[in-house]
Amino acid sequence: DTAVSQTPKYLVTQMGNDKSIKCEQNLGHDTMYWYKQDSKKFLKIMFSYNNKELIINETVPNRFSPKSPDKAHLNLHINSLELGDSAVYFCASSHPSGDPEAFFGQGTRLTVV
């Protein structure tokens, strides 16, 4: 039973398009995240949602917008895709108290052509 699932696993799209990546967790965690892993393999936090409120919003372009319909979901919408957006996007969730171990989804490999 998958704890954190994200779809699609692969996404190939043209520049200028708008796309969404979905994420769901069944762990009952309070906080969900989106990370971007670029070609140099560096995992960088993009967004964090805690109880449906945006807690962290790193300096990412406003073409990226997280949307959380409920505590179990955090979707990532990207407008006007650019070549530089090509990366692997990971969704994760954690429970902030105690040791906040993060559980990651399998990742979405986005390729913009």
Partner 1 sequence: RKEVEQDPGPFNVPEGATVAFNCTYSNSASQSFFWYRQDCRKEPKLLMSVYSSGNEDGRFTAQLNRASQYISLLIRDSKLSDSATYLCVVNLNQAGTALIFGKGTTLSVSS
What residues between 13 and 32 interact with partner 1 by CB under 8 A?
31
Q: Is 66 in the site for partner 1 (CB under 8 A)?
A: no
Q: How far is the CB of 31 from partner 1 (least distance, A)?
A: 6
Three-state DSSP state, 84:
helix
- Which residues within the stretch 27-56 sit at the binding site for partner 1 (CB under 8 A)? 31, 33, 35, 40-45, 48-50, 53, 55-56
Smallest CA-to-CA distance from 110 within 68, 72, 82 is with 82
| 86 and 111 Cβ atoms separated by less than 8 Å | yes
Tell me the one-letter amino acid at 5.
S
Residue 12 structure tokens: 């190939």
Contact 12, 19 (CB under 8 A): no
Which positions lie near partner 1, rule CB under 8 A?
Answer: 31, 33, 35, 40-45, 48-50, 53, 55-56, 90, 92, 94, 96, 99-102, 104-107
